[in-house]
Chains A and B, each alone.
Chain A
Amino acid sequence: MSDHNLAPTPGDRATTFFKRNDVRRTSVIFILWTATFTILGIWLYPKFMPRIMSKEMLSAENIMIWFTIISAPIAGIVLALATNAFLNMHRGDTPPEEGPAVRTNGPVVVIWTVASTIFALVAIVWGIVELNVQSVEAAATSKSAMIVEVTGSQWLWTFNYPEQGIETHQLNLPINRPVEFDIRSVDVNHSFWPVQLGVKVDANAMVTTVVRTTPNKLGEIDVKCAELCGILHAYMETTGAVMTEADFDSWVSQVQQSGASA
């Protein structure tokens, strides 16, 4: 980089700013980083996250994708400036020449602060809106919801279906029927996590915590414990499935007859 870049005269700054070599190079790097993060956001989470089987799961994955995309330009600026500086590196045992004595730049600080505030606001508003949508839906479906009483004990989950009068260690649910999980623990804290449904809530002793969702895809679900609960915490897992109403009914009657699920 040539020396004249280091001390632009104030007058022609605005017009020549984007013609400066370092600015151009930084802009190119900015575009590359922004694109990288955008692609990462679009590719990474849909590729690796489990199947989306409820609106809650969709909302979680959307947040991860979109927040990556929204923050890509900010990451791009930071990384572009850092990369540019890195490429300008000075090596050797003597210090480099003195840089420009810029102590601050009022407009830059203000623009940066405003931009990061807007970014924070977007995240906040997004989250609040999602929360609100979820709680409105949960309230709307609370009357019609099928109740499943989930009990966490060291180190197993069990599920009581009061309407059907069965109790199992497998979480099977009918599709498109709102479900209300009433969760409690008989001992220490656990955390009930039906992974593909994208909801999670702690199981506490003597308190019932509630979480609602509506499974909207058929398929297997994994149920895990997400709160360290003692030596076999890792093994406090079980499976289940979202099935058609008919399949669910026949499973229920099978369990009712045998007294336990296979």
Chain B
Amino acid sequence: MRRWVSPQRLERYGMLGMNARNLAFIQRYNERSRYPLVDDKLRTKLLAEDYGVPTPALRLVLRAQHQVRRAGSRLAALEGFAMKPAKGSGGKGIWVILRRDGEEWLKASGGRVGLADLQRHLSNTLAGLYSLGGNPDAVLVEDLISADDCFSGYSFEGVPDIRVVVFQGYPVMAMVRLSTHDSDGKANLHQGAVGVGLALDSGRCLRAVQFGQPLTLHPDTGRPLNAIKVPGWRELLVLAARCHEMTGLGYLGVDLVLDRQQGPMLLELNARPGLAIQIANGCGLLPRLRRVEALADRRRPGPAERVAWAMEAFADGR
């Protein structure tokens, strides 16, 4: 098969390149002063609380090195939890602990860690190992999410998350990211997670890719990927669309999870959403972004109305 595409063809497919994304969308629609709202997960969380957007429950926040020593006993009281650097990017530095096992903890990726490992990780994170530019950071400890049944058998060692690109408040494209053995439980496509493009009108699987190649079965569990259909799709999109008002960012990636009990919850926001979603959907973002740009609706429609428009406008998947 061919390994290269000509730029003319990419243009015809409406693919959004990194330069165009940075210059024509991120720089134009995202105000610099708003970035800290999404780059700091703690601020995102507090903001989400103000706007009544559900997020996983926060159990513990560590801000200084001296708190690390006493963190062990407080963590021991929790059943399972996720530790996240507040300013981390690309899923770096996130540890998911399933349960306690004697003196040790069991990680979702299968490893066991002792108290010393845990404390070292906390201390590294606080010192800024995972933050941009090595700035001092904070650690969030959150409740675990139990994935909705619609995803059972579709994920390996991790909870699937749903990425929605929201442009000027309109959801324009969506995908589910399924972690795999190759991706080591992480949901990043370039690390080997499976990206499943979702039809914007129904939440149904359009196509799935791993390492840029289309596939039909989950590589670890063997379940057919085209059977995926996200329940409560409209509510989920409305939740994503509301993040536009919440942050004031025009070009936004919203990462959601579907909890068995609590339904869709906001995991994190991204002011520079990746371009891989286009490959998972098999179509370019550019025509959709242009359609939203061409809208001249001065009424400032609410989230529900915008979602209704997007579900209809982008229904055919192209």
A and B, one complex?
no
